[in-house]
Structure 1
């Protein structure tokens, strides 16, 4: 991929992910500032599933007549508008904002990998996905820490939301300048026929796996302040440990992981994730808090791009964009759909009960990883 274009994609992704990271504190804003219930705040966030499904399903059709960079820029502008609605409106407009947050982030998060994969060789996919994912997670992980720091100094969270609006607008301008050739932007496949092909092939397994992983990821990111409050911990420690261990994993450990069998690596990483979730249950102080947070960052940071690669590794280059679109759809159904279910679990079973559900989802993810490994074994008959 053109080095300048790749840097622009990474920069735009970082800025929008930083704005996304600020929105990870949205439950805190809705409950503490607007005095809404945790369940109601989760309902607002879960409205994003409508926006994300609508936007992602429309991407393959819009790409036939509009260039990738323009759609990505539009996604950033939609995201900025959604945050502005949260800041300056209320009532039903908060639900509309939740819907638009899903639409905007769904477009951006889907188009980034498509822009990268459209000019990447198959051998480079995992490495390039690692890099783009690292920049996404860098912004998402650091911004909640900054929000917490500002709150400690009695600075209103609204200022960070306004900053997120400005970053999204800037990212829109950056994406607008990432121009690819018409051939790279062309999409000739419709999403429904490809979906039917996927559900009857091995590609359905990474599709399920990314959904399960998204449920775990978003629960830990969106509701960490609830867990920290329950345990009398500083949730900034989680975000710092998680983010920097994830970046360390993707920039330094990835090259060793990529030399291994990717199916076996996924199984091992998911077991590390399982251990991390179990350790959270016995965390009692801020020092020990670093351990499960770091393990979660390493495991999720490495396993996500590996699952993403499994989705498209045997797919022709011209078909990758549609497969990645469907992959993003599955991811976002988990990201925007599961928080409401998790909040209901918190209400009925508390932190302990909700964590046991997450542990069960992780075990199920391991089962599917083992199934994928078995299906990729050479036939000895």
Structure 2
């Protein structure tokens, strides 16, 4: 990994992550043009279908054009999707198309960029590079809405103008990722051509199905808390930008400080402890109307629990599957994540409009508790399977 190439990759990842983070501004955008949170959910529902297309495109196009160029095209697609939300007029067909392009781009990037990094690093250094990659990605996802909210409230930017700027940043990211590929060339990998849809039946019969289901539920929690944060704190003294900032700082700092500690604990214990912390963070959101401190505690607890449990679940996934299915289960893991991330806002938006904040937080809590329950069920069945083998 050449230093210049690595810099282009990390900054490109930061800016592409900002594109996904811009989705947390959409509820504000729809309110300013006469819409509501359900409109946000409908627009993002297109991202579910875009994700499937994006993942499939990586596995079909990357062997021909390379994972780095695929990452660049994906970043550009994210920018085009965000640009589709920047007009200050309502157009349902355009908004669903924008959501589809956003899901397509982010889904493709989420698969292609880590593959591009993996191809250019050896086993001895791959761990530290993935840590850096994940940190820059999360900084973009959480930092973008925090800075945008600051610009909107204090610098008097329009929401649509902020979305236009973020779309431009994604275009810059595409250029940087293309330069990364040119500075750190690598032959396209044929391994990406293997099947993954056809392996679903075999995967469903293994323990690997539990991490896949848990990350889908975790993504529902993440998208619910982040997408509707501005609506959840409306009418209180709390500010959405505070939550976004503290969440990002918590995830980045905890990944650096606690990653080694978490890695030394069994994945079964780490998953359950982190999910409990995540549940406590959601519980704190119920008390935000009473004092702004509860929003601060929610951001820190949620950032610690959800921010650290993703790689732990990913480790469980690989450990619970056969070597022959590793790439397939990782693909399904990413796909399940995006089904939750882009699919839940439709349900959440409907609940918020028709039943209020309490109903939305209850649904989010139910998803978190279901993920925690699955963690216990997985361990119980794992112990039972080991007992039978003994």
Count of matched residue pairs = 380
Q: Distance in 2 between matches of 1:278 and 1:314?
A: 31
For structure 1, the 5+ residue unaligned runs are none
RMSD: 2.5
Deviates more, 1:1-10 or 1:134-143: 1-10
Q: Distance in 1 between matches of 2:76 and 2:297?
A: 38
Q: TM-score, normalised by structure 1?
A: 0.91
Pairs within 5 Å for 1:1-381: 5-32=5-32, 34-88=33-87, 90-91=90-91, 92-118=93-119, 128-153=129-154, 154-179=156-181, 181-182=186-187, 184=189, 186-283=191-288, 284-313=290-319, 320-377=326-383, 379=386, 381=390
For structure 2, the 5+ residue unaligned runs are none
Structure 2 CA distance for partners of 1:115 and 1:197, relative to 1, 3 Å: farther
Structure 2 CA distance for partners of 1:119 and 1:258, relative to 1, 3 Å: farther
Q: Secondary structure at the match of 1:379?
A: helix
Q: TM-score, normalised by structure 2?
A: 0.89
Q: Secondary structure at the match of 2:233?
A: helix
Structure 2 CA distance for partners of 1:174 and 1:267, relative to 1, 3 Å: same
Q: Deviations over 1:91-110 (max 9, x none)?
A: 12122111111111111122
Contact 1:67 1:185 (C-alpha < 8 Å) held by counterparts: no
Shift of 1:122: 7.1
Contact 2:54 2:104 (C-alpha < 8 Å) held by counterparts: yes
Q: Distance in 2 between matches of 1:126 and 1:281?
A: 37
Shift of 1:224: 0.2
Structure 2 CA distance for partners of 1:192 and 1:222, relative to 1, 3 Å: same
Structure 2 CA distance for partners of 1:116 and 1:263, relative to 1, 3 Å: farther
Shift of 1:22: 2.2
